[in-house]
Amino acid sequence: MKKILLISFFIFSLSVWAKTKTLVIIGDSLTEGYGVARESAFPAVLQEKIKNQWKVINSGISGATTASAKGRVNWVLKSKPDLVMLILGANDGLRGLKVSESKKHLEEAIQILKQNKIKTILGGLYMPPNYGKDYSSQFKSMYADLSKKHNLPLVPFILDQVAGDPKYNLADGIHPNEEGHKIIANKVYESIKEYL
């Protein structure tokens, strides 16, 4: 009887494991969780919300720009993800890089994911107005344009309700604190739950 129960449990465990899908979030320090514990970064908080249905992989690298997108997507494809979320561009904007170049890099990554039939979600970012109205507007439009052109779901502004609020950011005023990451995780979950 114990042997039958053990075999049944093993088969059940295998079936649960087989149904688990993988979501990889490719980003920069906002994704990595700069300044907070790894388990407090929004991908880990998102994992708690999703529970056992999905495995969320935090592929955030501090300082990353969109120039890394293509190479990182090619690397991520080796793990055969079911869903990829791209949240890159903040460091491009902070460095004042050309929006056309950032857009080109993101589009290259998106095209690779499409060719490999990987469902992709785009996470948008905004630049503060002190970068100039034209630059901020172009930067914001970049994500909407790519979303429309490639028919991708878009989370318009990942830092909505977090950016600029001292309650939800570290002392540097740029990176979210633990409470900020909770808000981001909730926003991302509400935006992508229909694709999970």
- Continuous H helices in the chain: 2-19, 29-32, 42-50, 69-76, 90-94, 99-115, 133-149, 178-192
Neighbour count for residue 112 (Cβ, 10 Å): 19
150 catalytic per annotation: no
b/e 127-157 (16+ beta carbons within 10 angstroms → b) = beeeeeeebbebbbebbeebbeeeebeebbb
Residue 132 tokens read as 């100039």
Annotated catalytic residue within 40, 68, 175, 181: 175
Question: What does the alpha-carbon distance between residue 128 and residue 17 come to, in Å, rounded to a whole number?
Answer: 43
Question: What does the alpha-carbon distance between residue 123 and residue 182 come to, in Å, rounded to a whole number?
Answer: 16
175 catalytic per annotation: yes
Annotated catalytic residue within 28, 29, 68, 147: 29
59 catalytic per annotation: no
Residues assigned a catalytic role: 29, 172, 175
